[in-house]
A and B are shown apart, each in its own frame.
Chain A
Amino acid sequence: MNYEQLREFAKQIRINTVECIGSLGVGHIGGSLSIADVLAVLYGKHMNVNPKEPKMEGRDRLVCSKGHAGPAIYAVLAEKGYFPKSELLTLNQGGTNLPSHCDMNKTIGVDMTAGSLGQGLSAAVGIAIGAKLRKDGATSYAIIGDGESQEGQIWEAAMYAGHMKLDNLIVFTDFNKLQLDGEVEKINDIEPLVDKWRSFNWEVIEVADGNNVEAIDKAITKAKSVKGKPKMIILHTVKGKGVSFVEKAWVGSHSMSIDAEKVAIAVKEIRGA
């Protein structure tokens, strides 16, 4: 996909996300919308995956360690054709394949179960080691949250990935500055984040506008070219990006209500953007 197509893809991911959460009326909309652009660039350009063969050997993997962003993952997977888009409207209903938090045993195309924060990055490290042992050339991608980075296990995984020089591991921090209870910097500041990851022997690339597909694409391309260490791409994002009433909800957007009327307003705004 070219940049115009990636922007359109990101819009469609946002629309799917809003409709998915809107079908239930409540959900983790803020942190889902903030990663729509990186998902568009990954699934629209960089990831070697095949929706017709979801378990294809040697495919790239994505661990969404901030598992509550499940709706955004479902939005991109449905758009890619892993399952019918109509399934998006079953979010969190009894018996659904699309639970609030990502579950690899329920949703086709999800590579790892997550939900208890801090655990997914370790799994992504294991996947990267697995790909090295198999010598299949696969890349292990992961998305972690800024609030999630307060978990100790993130830094256990960071230390080990740096030690193992896992250059097939590319991780994104969705740095939208907000967590459930408030502002990250006021609750337990994770800054200086670039210095932290660099000191753990990672290549660190900072993207000032983490909702810009062109900037994200360039960061991934650069990350892929670096050998001998894992890569951290810090995306400065906006929680709720693309839907103004969600952005305005600010810390309230972590999990918020969205009725049918608001879904229509959101979809109209995303389409017109």
Chain B
Amino acid sequence: MLKNMLMRDVLVEFLREEMAKNENVVVLDADLSKCSTTICLNDVYPERMLNVGIAEANMAGVAAGLSTYGFIPYITTFGPFATRRIADQLMISICYSKQNVKIVGADPGICAELNGGTHMPLEDIGMLRSIPDIVIYEPTDVIEFNQALPQIQSHYGPVYIRMHRKSPPIVHKDDLKFDLFKAMVLEKGDDVTIVASGIMVKTALDAREELAKEGISAEVICCPTIKPLDSKTILKSVKKTGAVVTAENHNVMGALTSAVSEVLVENYPAPLRSVGVKEKFGEVGKEAYLRKVFNMEVKDVVKAAKDVIKAK
């Protein structure tokens, strides 16, 4: 059953089906295919399952070359190696040359947990967001991810998938009709808009319940695609509430907070408070500990919401 699957298993099952249907689908790994479990595809499609070894730059370039030949390559590795390690290869060989490469970077932000600061991408979206035409998508849960993957594949061009390997909490209903390029109002409210992505969507929903106990009505927007940003949905909500909290599993510089701020400043200036990592490197720890260290708990969203309402 979909709800019980890990996110990486949703990816692998999608790839397994697509590789069967479409001989253009190729998967490349850089010695982490056991972690992403794409290694199992090797048993079925060994010719289109390329493990290049620990050489991410070459993986990106080989994928670009395959794309020029009409293939749809998926490169998979951990988030930091899929982005900062190969920033120039992503920029030139993939994006600038307009290749159809899908980039899967596993374990966003603090979800890298025990792999610690070296493996904890808190700047990946910030690095990629200024590259033209790339799509940046952070799946919220497996229900959404399952619907996103076919859309990502049919979209020509580079897409960065900031994928939690395990099982982020389910926030969507079974009847979700997901559009990759649309943000979703999950809960309506009047006093403040909370725009959240990734694991922070559930945190935002929990904060909404806490706020409701104090008579504060928060609208929660789930924003999995940070680029291109669905500014229409966000602006519509902020015009109603007049105040915004962003909640993201990333440094607050460069990613969701920045993207939302840019839209507001240009179109509808409104007070904003951010919840996310602030000028700190990652470190080892379980998610609960890291949320505490980086002030990414439910209470932090509640505090930000109350604070921003005062600033209206």
A residues sitting closer than 8 Å to B (CB atoms) are 61, 63, 103-105, 111-116, 118-131, 133-134, 140, 152-153, 156-157, 159-160, 163
B74-117 residues with Cβ-Cβ distance < 8 A to A are 88-89, 91-93, 96-98
Residues of A within 8 A of B65 (CB): 63, 112, 122-130, 140
- Cβ of B299 within 8 Å of any chain A Cβ, yes or no, is no
Contact between chains at B62 and A126 (CB < 8 Å): yes
Known: A133-B47, A156-B55. A113 touches B62 (CB 8 A): no
Contact between chains at B48 and A133 (CB < 8 Å): yes
Known: A129-B62, A152-B57. A119 touches B69 (CB 8 A): no
* Chain A residue with Cβ nearest B54: A156
- Cβ of B71 within 8 Å of any chain A Cβ, yes or no, is yes
Supply 11 further A-B pairs (C-beta < 8 A) apart from A123-B68, A125-B58, A156-B58.
Answer: A105-B98, A114-B92, A126-B63, A130-B65, A130-B68, A130-B69, A152-B57, A156-B57, A159-B53, A160-B52, A160-B53
B residues sitting closer than 8 Å to A (CB atoms) are 23, 26, 47-48, 50, 52-53, 55, 57-58, 60-71, 73, 88-89, 91-93, 96-98
Contact of A119 among B47, B66, B70, B92 (CB under 8 A): B92
State the majority secondary structure of interface residues on A: helix
* Cα of A160 to Cα of B56 in the assembled complex, Å: 12
* Cα of A65 to Cα of B47 in the assembled complex, Å: 26
Known: A133-B47, A156-B58, A159-B55. A119 touches B71 (CB 8 A): no
Contact between chains at B61 and A125 (CB < 8 Å): yes
A27 to chain B, nearest CB (A): 20
Contact between chains at A121 and B68 (CB < 8 Å): no
Residues of B within 8 A of A128 (CB): 65
Residues of B within 8 A of A114 (CB): 92
Residues of B within 8 A of A126 (CB): 61-69, 73
